[in-house]
Structure 1
């Protein structure tokens, strides 16, 4: 009887090991294909050490011990996504990707890096767009396409920054086309490809219109982006919907044919931040148009935007902004965030034409996309050589071993990740950090819940089995 019970629950728990469903882009919404609900990004930028600290052989998703600590803190914080800017596609990311998957956190990944030849040079894009560069970005696809929590790839970040960059937009469409065609041929699922723009007027709207329009008149054009994001720091301090210009953004993007969201936000002036934009960003005036955002940033760097200070010995100390951001997230309606049926799934993209470019500057009105070089076509047809294909792996450790202290200096004890069931993503937990008067055992984070009845019982047993796994060392994937 005991053996049968053990086998039953082990099989049951194994069936729930994938925490997140792979999302789809339908019209201007991110959609959970399992139930048709709309997904809102509640994210944080994750690039410990900044771009200057990136070196081949080491990136933010290469150290499982570090990822376990940070995933546990992010699960408490309440985010459901991270953006990672610089990645080495030749190394193993299985453990980190599996950890973030287990706690219901999606990955938004830039395919470029600051190293020579690993991004499009806006000064001469025709020189940097070559087979060596394209092979590199295809390596990123191969490394991360196997993880269900890979949400999207960014083909570029603030590459189109000047009106004089007249030839850059067409090359961004070429990179987008190549990425999407490679994914279509060499991945078993569609993974969206997008662009992250600087919030610079009037360049922003021209960039959005240029990249979202269709050369074929429908959504099948592979050179149009699947998503469009902007790095916006317009809401500073205790601002308002009108003062910050959020009202203008909502109006400008009201007819978007792709999901639009903030790929960075979190103005640093005045400091400390109050994050009053959070309830606005996820409130009724913004959510009908925008799909959430990524706060900048997780780690404290010299720019002072961090939520957490990380030390060389592996210890971590929460910054006051962590508490403030968490408190704002705790005010949000989970139903509004994740349980609303997607409404904008059949939006038709505009057909590319000169009238979409509205400024009087030199922004390109040329929608002729650079042809695919023969060497790149070979990569598209046959795939890259020796791809490093990532896959989810079993987790045998759930507990964080490093010292972690709250912003008040109190040690956070019992910190661990809590694996979620297969239809759940992470959501704000409602908890706060320990006060100076006591230490704290980390309670389980709240999650989206889409099951009831017997299925709800399965979810509860999954939570119990996760707890047992932490004690017994059973495998949790």
Structure 2
């Protein structure tokens, strides 16, 4: 009996708890265990921007656990369930950061390309840039993140079809990279991880980009060149006076109305009117759009020179919340999460159209669905895997309290800022918190509101209940001897 109690203790107090995988099911994301629909409530996360990414520096957005803990705590309060990370160094250790975001129910959408040489497709020189060194790079990103259960998907490209001329030559190469990634994942990952594309909102190319990348070349459901999801970087809703119609959201709903894969905003959040009020959130997650769209990713978490940020990050590791963060939090808190998680049965019934030139409306857009063959050495990489892969893995998250000072938009320091680990079947959701001032102190130290709830909720309460169960079993065992 005592050995049984020991086993129960080890089982109940395992330090690593994983979120459930999210799968693509027709035009929806679906929780692989609960079958709840998953709507992306996301934020772009790239401190320093593309200019801040320096290969070989030993730093990328997911390499510093102390900073990730700070940011995950603020994102959990905000209510997001997904981050998008653009530029990553696959040789670095991302275990702690990925595990922290996993612990709070936040998934990761990851770009496999970077702005460094030989690490993205060059629309002006596709035949040279599509080479085995490039494939080694994108496969290395897969290796680094394939084992994390909160890896939601990989972007094979971002806004590659954007300028005049790119629509003629780029599309077949995007299908080629998609194929290569899906074949590599199939051979070297224990689970299927979706691969998709993030498009610029260039209306001359948008509908054709979607039609070209999402159709089936051979008419089967196993076409490996077909994307699993489609992201749109859209900034058409600007200011509190914008509407569903003036922002052109009605046109987008019509454009993607018959989608057979998840479609979402891979970036949104126009900043022409400041501060942003984010009333487009109610449209995106409202009845007019949720039948077609799978949510969106706000651009962006960190305030950079382009002034899209929700949070100011300082050189000493401290952070200050901006008004935009507060405004977005208020919008998220209005969402009906149970309604968003309800199934969209009609979205799973549609079959992808067969690829043909008739799907394409633009005169200059590629109508050729002949996908380039693998470059020299590419097949060997897929068959045998890359050399010396850096495989990430979940680790114990032993620190939950943020030690770096974080300040509210009112100037007061946020007290007791910490992550709140969630049970393994939950993703993070808006929880009604108001970070504006409810948990801060003013500069003079006067409290402006009640203390935040205990950070031992969720998984913490579960483990406490299990502890009490073990104690009870121990008492019974002793009495029976």
* TM-score, normalization by structure 1: 0.91
Query: Which structure 2 residues correspond to residues 124-139 of structure 1 after superposition, within 5 A?
Result: 124-139=125-140
- After superposition, the Cα gap between the structure-2 partners of 1:298 and 1:274, relative to the gap in structure 1 and judged at 3 Å, is same
Give the aligned partner of residue 438 of structure 1: 447
CA root-mean-square deviation: 2.2
Give the aligned partner of residue 320 of structure 2: 317
Give the aligned partner of residue 261 of structure 1: 264
- 1:402-446 deviation per Cα after TM superposition (whole angstroms, max 9, x unaligned): 000100011111111111111000000101021556256443699
Give the aligned partner of residue 372 of structure 1: 374
Contact persistence 1:233–1:265 (CA under 8 A): yes
Query: Which structure 2 residues correspond to residues 5-20 of structure 1 after superposition, within 5 A?
Result: 8=8, 11-14=11-14, 17-20=16-19
Query: Which structure 2 residues correspond to residues 17-96 of structure 1 after superposition, within 5 A?
Result: 17-56=16-55, 57-96=58-97
3-state SS of the aligned residue for 1:14? coil
Shift of 1:344: 1.8
Give the aligned partner of residue 202 of structure 1: 204
Contact persistence 2:126–2:170 (CA under 8 A): yes
Shift of 1:347: 2.5
CA distance in 1, matches of 2:270, 2:414: 28
Query: Which structure 2 residues correspond to residues 187-198 of structure 1 after superposition, within 5 A?
Result: 187-198=189-200
Contact persistence 2:319–2:407 (CA under 8 A): yes
- 1:304-362 deviation per Cα after TM superposition (whole angstroms, max 9, x unaligned): 100000011110000000000000000000102224465422421111100111123x1
**1:277 and 2:280 aligned:** yes
Contact persistence 1:429–1:446 (CA under 8 A): no
CA distance in 2, matches of 1:256, 1:75: 31
4+ runs of 1 displaced by more than 6 Å?
Answer: 1-7, 444-447, 463-466
Contact persistence 1:68–1:400 (CA under 8 A): yes
CA distance in 2, matches of 1:464, 1:416: 22
**1:155 and 2:172 aligned:** no
- 1:15-53 deviation per Cα after TM superposition (whole angstroms, max 9, x unaligned): 8x4341111111111011212221000000000011101
Give the aligned partner of residue 296 of structure 1: 299
Contact persistence 1:26–1:346 (CA under 8 A): no
Identify the range of structure 1 (69-78 vs 155-164) with the bigger mean alpha-carbon deviation. 155-164
Please, which runs of 5 or more residues in structure 1 have no aligned partner? 448-455, 467-477
Shift of 1:269: 1.4
Give the aligned partner of residue 384 of structure 1: 386
Shift of 1:179: 0.3
CA distance in 1, matches of 2:343, 2:414: 34
Give the length in aligned residue pairs: 455
CA distance in 2, matches of 1:463, 1:80: 26
CA distance in 2, matches of 1:369, 1:255: 25
CA distance in 1, matches of 2:176, 2:427: 33
CA distance in 2, matches of 1:200, 1:11: 52
CA distance in 2, matches of 1:430, 1:22: 25
- After superposition, the Cα gap between the structure-2 partners of 1:11 and 1:368, relative to the gap in structure 1 and judged at 3 Å, is same
Give the aligned partner of residue 103 of structure 1: 104
CA distance in 2, matches of 1:69, 1:263: 24
Shift of 1:4: 8.4
Give the aligned partner of residue 453 of structure 1: none
3-state SS of the aligned residue for 1:344? helix
**1:344 and 2:347 aligned:** yes
CA distance in 1, matches of 2:31, 2:375: 36
3-state SS of the aligned residue for 1:368? coil
3-state SS of the aligned residue for 1:397? coil
- 1:356-384 deviation per Cα after TM superposition (whole angstroms, max 9, x unaligned): 11123x11111100011240000011000
Shift of 1:464: 7.2
CA distance in 1, matches of 2:261, 2:178: 14
**1:215 and 2:217 aligned:** yes
3-state SS of the aligned residue for 1:202? helix
Give the aligned partner of residue 471 of structure 2: none
Shift of 1:240: 1.0
- 1:432-470 deviation per Cα after TM superposition (whole angstroms, max 9, x unaligned): 0215562564436999xxxxxxxx9x884247789xxxx
Identify the range of structure 1 (24-33 vs 76-85) with the bigger mean alpha-carbon deviation. 24-33
- After superposition, the Cα gap between the structure-2 partners of 1:38 and 1:84, relative to the gap in structure 1 and judged at 3 Å, is same
* TM-score, normalization by structure 2: 0.90
Contact persistence 1:430–1:446 (CA under 8 A): no
CA distance in 2, matches of 1:306, 1:296: 7
Please, which runs of 5 or more residues in structure 2 have no aligned partner? 468-481
3-state SS of the aligned residue for 1:262? strand
3-state SS of the aligned residue for 1:371? coil
